[in-house]
Amino acid sequence: METSTNMRITTQRQVILEELAKVTSHPTANEVYDMVRRRLPRIGLGTVYRNLDLMAESGMILKIEVGGTQKRFDATTTPHYHIRCLECGRVNDIDMDFQSEINDAAADASHYQIFSHHIEFTGVCPMCAKQERHALAN
Amino acid sequence: METSTNMRITTQRQVILEELAKVTSHPTANEVYDMVRRRLPRIGLGTVYRNLDLMAESGMILKIEVGGTQKRFDATTTPHYHIRCLECGRVNDIDMDFQSEINDAAADASHYQIFSHHIEFTGVCPMCAKQERHALAN
DNA sequence: TTATGTGCAAAACATTTGCAGGAGT
DNA sequence: ACTCCTGCAAATGTTTTGCACATAA
């Protein structure tokens, strides 16, 4: 639960973090594995899962639980929202104000103790929209 | 994509829908299976999955893709938000205004064609909060 | 009668875990 | 040394799928 301060900085962790920081996409564990494996061919998928989870728990990265079948990870840890393409599954950050005040509305509307919220937009990304236009033209 | 009008009303579908409508929780496919099995002991889990998906596609029910490992289903199809307990995984509806205007903000902030959005709050439900207070007292 | 749906079991995925050996401090 | 970490492989949990039979229209 607590941020473990005694987490060793191993080569594997270093590389996972570096590779995640390189991209603005929101790779799945398996995609991170592929990226990291180019530099550390013998790394195990289990290690990638374990370390992504540990880093997320300690707040170094974000574990994004959006729709779709896989969890995604993000090196940007400041609060922000996401948009997911219904066609291709791509997930992007969305650059709009963080609605910190809606937590209060939720607190009023429930008996939960509110920690945070996340907004996920769904739609069609520019690339898929383009393809659809092409398909319709034929 | 389109609402398939040629979906037969079978006993299984009827019962799945009825059982789902009975509860305000947001059961997983497996929980629906357990509920339905009390009335139709020979129903298969595959049938439950297949029909929940079909009903969600045709708009009869909602498939909720929130955090956690399983998808959840909801017989309430009017747009609303959810809150999930970080301790026990319970998901509840939250009775606050639907922020239809934030889709516009998202459209401005991205090149996506926006369809919809969903807000998921996270926190601790009253039951878990109570248990925590008990635990601390000991 | 015939297209669609069901039960069952196996397969396909995503993720977690046990363990023996390896590496950081 | 001693603890923590890794690779590997097996286990787990969720969802999907193939297929022969059943059933609604």
Q: What is the pLDDT along chain A (138 residues), one digit of tens a residue?
A: 344 457 899 999 999 999 999 999 999 999 999 999 999 999 999 999 999 999 999 999 999 988 889 999 999 999 999 999 988 888 999 999 999 899 999 999 999 999 999 999 999 999 998 887 777 776
Q: Which of B113, B128, B131, B132 to probe the A interface (max A CBs under 10 A)?
A: B113
Residue A3, min C-alpha distance to chain B (Å): 17
One domain for residues B54 and B90? no
Domain final residue pick, B77, B92, B110: B77
Query: How far apart are the C-alpha atoms of B112 and B106, rounded to whole Å?
Result: 8
- Which one of A53, A77, A101 terminates a domain? A77
Q: Are residues B93 and B31 in the same domain?
A: no
Q: What is the pLDDT of residue B137?
A: 74
- The string over A75-88, giving b where at least 16 C-beta atoms fall within 10 Å of a residue's C-beta and e elsewhere, is beeeebbbbbbbee
Among the three residues A58, A77, A96, which one is the final residue of a domain in this structure?
Answer: A77
How many domains is chain B built from?
A: 2
A47 shares its domain with A91: no
B68 lies in the same domain as B14: yes
Q: Does B14 touch chain A (CB under 8 A)?
A: no
pLDDT recorded at residue A138: 61
Identify the CATH number of the domain in which residue A111 sits.
3.30.1490.190
> Same domain, yes or no, for B68 and B15?
yes
Q: Which residues of A touch B73 (CB under 8 A)?
A: none
Q: CB A116 to CB B106 under 8 A? A: no
CATH of the domain at B61: 1.10.10.10
Interchain contact B119–A (C-beta under 8 A): yes
For CA atoms A91, A93, A97, A102, give the dihedral sign: positive
DSSP state of B35: H
- What's the full length of chain A, in residues? 138
Say if the Cβ atoms of B83 and A129 lie within 8 Å.
Answer: no
Q: What is the pLDDT of residues B61-107, one digit of tens each?
A: 999 988 889 999 999 999 999 999 988 888 999 999 999 899 999 99
In whole angstroms, give the CA distance from residue A23 to residue B6. 45
Nearest to B94 among A68, A85, A110 (CB): A110
pTM: 0.89
| A46/A92 same-domain check | no
Residue B113 parent element (H or E): strand B113-124
CB of B69 less than 8 A from some CB of A: no
**Same-domain status, B84 and B72:** no
One domain for residues A84 and A100: yes
CB atoms within 10 A of CB B72: 22
Q: In this predicted model, what pLDDT tens digit does every residue of B46-58 receive, in sequence order?
A: 999 999 999 999 9
Question: Which residues are within 8 A (CB) of B120 and not within 5 positions of it... i.e. 6 or more apart?
Answer: A117, A118, A120, B66, B67, B81, B82, B83, B84
Per-residue model confidence (pLDDT) at position A45: 97
Indicate yes or no: CB of B120 within 8 angstroms of CB of A121: no
Identify whether residues A68 and A38 lie together within a single domain: yes
Q: Are residues B96 and B65 in the same domain?
A: no
Nearest to B128 by CA among B120, B118, B138, B136: B136
A78 CA to D13 C1' in angstroms comes to 32
Strand C reaches within 7 A of the B51 CB: yes
Q: What does pLDDT average to over chain B?
A: 91
Tell me the C-alpha distance between A124 and A135, whole Å. Answer: 15
Number of C-beta neighbours around residue B51 at 10 A: 23
Q: From the CA of B114, how many Å to the nearest CA of chain A?
A: 4
Residues A69, A111, single domain; the answer is no
Instruction: Tell me which residue range forms the domain holding A121.
Output: 78-138
Let me know if A67 is exposed, middle or buried by CB neighbors in 10 A (0-12, 13-18, 19+): middle
State the smallest CA–CA distance between residue A39 and chain B in angstroms: 30
3-state class (DSSP) for residue B114: strand
pLDDT attached to residue B1: 36
Q: Which residue has the tokens 């635990």?
A: B135
Q: Which residues pair with B94 in a beta bridge?
A: B81
Q: A96 to chain B: nearest residue by CA?
A: B109
Q: What is the DSSP secondary structure assignment for residue B51, as one 8-state letter?
A: H
CB contact under 8 A, A106 and B94: yes
Nearest Cα neighbor of B63 from B54, B73, B55, B51 is B73
Quick check: B138 pLDDT over 70?
A: no
Same domain, A71 and A28: yes
